Structure 1
């Protein structure tokens, strides 16, 4: 019965993909290497030639930094240079390096406004010679996201929009529909407890709040290591899937 249900689910995902304009061939993906996460994603990983969105779980700087580090960890596991577009250069390069994205791989583009940033984002996604393109954007319309996704799809480059807001009123834009294949929300949790005084590995609540042809879920994970990889905390790794390491959300 389980095999039959899996076949039905795979057929439904293929139909949804065709309706949304996806190609029938199996696309290239970048697995997280964490089974609980990869099994929630179509084809077992993040689509490479596609647009993805990431935001902090709250409006504070801590969650915003966690979202940027999550994006950095993904970009770090791609091959080639990474273009990072910002309207003001306030990234902490040492933190990106701790997430696996060393300064020798990052090309920064600082623009004067959001319009120029989106144009640089699209040009980078369309270039085809980059491992990933990341841009910190506050607003992302359906039209802009569609152009970005098509550019990434044509070049085979992963595009990641890190949603970052200067004002509280801009945060509501994250709930608007876009053409992103996945949408993630990252919130900082208390770090790993150590047997001696000190600060352990950071932990995040990672929410997959939208996944094209997939399901929503949330996970408690250990933050990206020096190779950009996530992990399940030791006290959760041996639990069953239904015990809370990937609960489905409405």
Structure 2
């Protein structure tokens, strides 16, 4: 029988090798079991770079991706630095997804290179809860620099990859991001009367380190920055649980 103390020391050594010498990083969970349970870290690592792209190059998908990013930042701690290339952010819309305009610090960059440099500086500051940037192009070298700048801190890095041209796929470009998401619009919740219900998104995790990709339909962020499962899915989960208990 192996000595328990030796086994414990071996586990700690292996854990140190797997995480580059750091202990397990704190994460920001979505609070939705179908998502958190399929993320390698149980949520979004706070000391890491995450990429988000609209599922298609149109305004509706772009807005969905922006509000998804805003909801994540809303649930992070402290001030949020948002670096833009164009002045198209709508503060009341961000507030509806939980991000208080008083927490926002805006910076406008002349090009992608300047934007990425500002993001890196913000991540190294260590006094921000989130650093967000919107870029059309960011290669492996640039994203690796952002990932290294984020490691060891508590500032989540969110890079929104806009479509460079019609038919392009921002997520296909190699990247050092820990997770890479596509956000698209899905049919909204039906109402008993004529009108449009709560918006729904199709979240696609195209890639994650240490895990597999998946797809999930969610209801858009509420005023606390949290997404929700559509009611039908929630009821189905409950019904499945009852069936499992009955089968047991």
TM-score range, shorter chain: 0.7 to 0.9
Q: Secondary structure at the match of 1:239?
A: helix
Give 1:240 deviation, angstroms. 4.8
1:191 aligns with 2:188: yes
1:161 aligns with 2:144: no
Asked if the contact 1:139–1:174 (Cα under 8 Å) also holds between the matched residues in 2, the reply is: no
1:218 aligns with 2:215: yes
Question: What residue is the counterpart of 2:197 in the other structure?
Answer: 200
Give 1:213 deviation, angstroms. 0.4
Structure 2 unaligned residues grouped into runs of 5+: 1-10, 241-248
Asked if the contact 1:223–1:230 (Cα under 8 Å) also holds between the matched residues in 2, the reply is: yes
Give 1:18 deviation, angstroms. 4.5
Asked if the contact 2:49–2:159 (Cα under 8 Å) also holds between the matched residues in 1, the reply is: yes
Q: Secondary structure at the match of 1:80?
A: coil
Q: Secondary structure at the match of 1:232?
A: coil
| Structure number with larger C-alpha Rg | 2
Q: Secondary structure at the match of 1:43?
A: coil
Matches of 1:156 and 1:203, distance apart in 2: 29
Structure 1 unaligned residues grouped into runs of 5+: 1-10, 244-250
Give RMSD over aligned pairs: 2.0
Matches of 2:165 and 2:117, distance apart in 1: 22
Matches of 2:138 and 2:182, distance apart in 1: 16
Give 1:23 deviation, angstroms. 4.1
Alignment of 1:79-118 (within 5 A): 79-118=77-116
Distance 1:176 1:196, change over 3 A: same
> 1:29-57 deviations in whole A, cap 9, x for unaligned?
00100000000112311100000000011
TM-score normalised per structure 2: 0.86
> 1:88-117 deviations in whole A, cap 9, x for unaligned?
111111111110002111111011111111
Matches of 1:24 and 1:127, distance apart in 2: 19
Give 1:165 deviation, angstroms. 2.9
Question: What residue is the counterpart of 1:232 in the other structure?
Answer: 229
The one of 115, 122, 125 equivalent to 1:124 is 122
TM-score normalised per structure 1: 0.85
Question: What residue is the counterpart of 1:133 in the other structure?
Answer: 131
Question: What residue is the counterpart of 1:43 in the other structure?
Answer: 41
Question: What residue is the counterpart of 1:61 in the other structure?
Answer: 59
Matches of 1:210 and 1:23, distance apart in 2: 24
Q: Secondary structure at the match of 2:152?
A: helix
1:26 aligns with 2:21: no
Asked if the contact 1:126–1:154 (Cα under 8 Å) also holds between the matched residues in 2, the reply is: no
Question: What residue is the counterpart of 2:175 in the other structure?
Answer: 178
Q: Secondary structure at the match of 2:119?
A: helix
Question: What residue is the counterpart of 1:246 in the other structure?
Answer: none
Question: What residue is the counterpart of 2:243 in the other structure?
Answer: none
